[in-house]
Amino acid sequence: LGMPSVPLKLADRRRSRQIQVGSVAVGGDAPVSVQSMTTTVTADIGATLQQIAELTAAGCQIVRVACPSQDDADALPVIARKSQIPVIADIHFQPKYVFAAIDAGCAAVRVNPGNIRQFDDKVKEIAAAASAAGVPIRIGVNAGSLDKRLLEKYGRATPEALVESALWECSLFEEHGFRDIKISVKHNDPVVMVNAYRLLAQKCDYPLHLGVTEAGPAFQGTVKSAVAFGALLAEGIGDTIRVSLSAPPAEEVKVGIAILESLGLRQRRLEIVSCPSCGRAQVDVYKLADEVTAGLDGLEVPLRVAVMGCVVNGPGEAREADLGVASGNGKGQIFVKGEVIKTVPESKIVETLIEEAMKIAEQMEAT
C-alpha cells in the first residue's frame, strides 16, 4: 500500500521491420496504432471526409476507404489531401485503381491475394510505382476470399492456408525487390485467427495488421476482437489493429484504443474502477458509476477514479486510485491520493467527485 505501482510488462514485442504509412510508423518499435474503415460511399467526398473527421476525433490514426469504382478512385486525391490522418485505399479487383491510389497521394494501398490473380502480370508495375512513391502495400488475406488453389489444398481457410496465401503474395512483390509490406490474415474465428498470426509471425518480419473479420455486432465483435488481439499482443505480436464491428466505425476505434489501454500498450486516459456491487452495497453503484463516467467524459488525462459501493473493499481500492469514493450510511468518503479529504452526503457524491477530478486533471495538465 502506498507503493508507486510499477507497470508490469507483457512479452517482448516481436521484431518486425518498420514501414511508414504516411505520418504513422507501423512496426519496429512504433506504438501499436489503431485504424478503422469508412462506411460511406468513397465517391461522396463530403460524407467520407466528415466520417474521417469523426474517426480522427475518436482517436483513429489511419483510415481505410473502399475503392470499388472509378468514381471512388476519382475521389481519392481530394480525400487523401484533406484527411487529417493517412488514408489507405482498399482495392480488390482492379489494378488500375492501385495506380490511381498511388497517384492520388494515398498513404498505402491494401490488396487482397485471393482477388489478385489477375494482378499477376501487373505486380511488377505496381511494385515500381509504389516503390517510387514510397507507398507501402498491405497484403490483406481474408478467409472469405482465399485463393481457390489454397482452398482446394487445405479444404478450408486454415491458419496454414491463410499464411501460405499471404506469403505467396508477398513473394510476388519480393521478386521485384519490393518489401514495403504489412500483412493481415483475418478470419472470423478468433482461434483460427490467433493461430494464423502466430504462424505468420514466425515466418516473416513484416509488420502485422491484426483483425478478426466479420466479428459481428458491437458486443460480440468487441469480445472476439479483445480476446484475439489480447492473446496476440500479450505475446508481442501485432503492429496495428482494426476492430471490425457491425456498428459505426468510431465505435471500432474506441474499442481498439480500450484494448491497447487494457494491455498497458497505450497510456490509459480516464479509468473508472467501479465495483460490481453486491449485497453489501449501500448505494446504487451502477447509477453512481454511470453518472461519474458521463460527468468525466472526454477527460484526456490518465485519471483513475474508484467508485465503491461499501466500506469493505471500498477504502482500499479508493486509496489506490487518484480519486475515489467509498459509500456507506448514506454518505460517501471522498479519497484523493489515498487520503480522505471529506465526507459528503450521498446526493453530493457525484458533483464532489467531478469537482475534485477536474482539479486533479488541471494539476496533471499543468505538469
CB closer to ligand SF4 out of 41 and 312: 312
The CB-of-289 to ligand SF4 minimum distance in angstroms stands at 11
* Pairwise CA distance, residues 95 & 73, whole Å: 11
The CB-of-270 to ligand SF4 minimum distance in angstroms stands at 20
CB closer to ligand SF4 out of 301 and 312: 312
Exposed, middle or buried by CB within 10 Å (0-12, 13-18, 19+), for 278? exposed
Binding site for ligand SF4 (CB under 6 A): 275-278, 280-281, 308-310, 312-314
Contacts with 303 (C-beta within 8 Å, 6 or more apart), sequence order: 269, 270, 271, 296, 322, 323, 357, 360, 361, 364
- Beta-bridged to residue 88, according to DSSP, are 64, 108
Contacts with 305 (C-beta within 8 Å, 6 or more apart), sequence order: 270, 271, 272, 273, 292, 296, 321, 322, 323, 324, 353, 357
CB closer to ligand SF4 out of 86 and 309: 309
The CB-of-317 to ligand SF4 minimum distance in angstroms stands at 7
The CB-of-340 to ligand SF4 minimum distance in angstroms stands at 16
CB closer to ligand SF4 out of 115 and 313: 313
Residues in the chain: 367
The CB-of-282 to ligand SF4 minimum distance in angstroms stands at 7
CB closer to ligand SF4 out of 68 and 316: 316
Q: Would you list which residues are annotated within the binding site for [4Fe-4S] cluster? A: 275, 278, 310, 317
Give the Å distances, CA to CA, from 349 to 130, 219, 276, 340: 58, 31, 18, 13
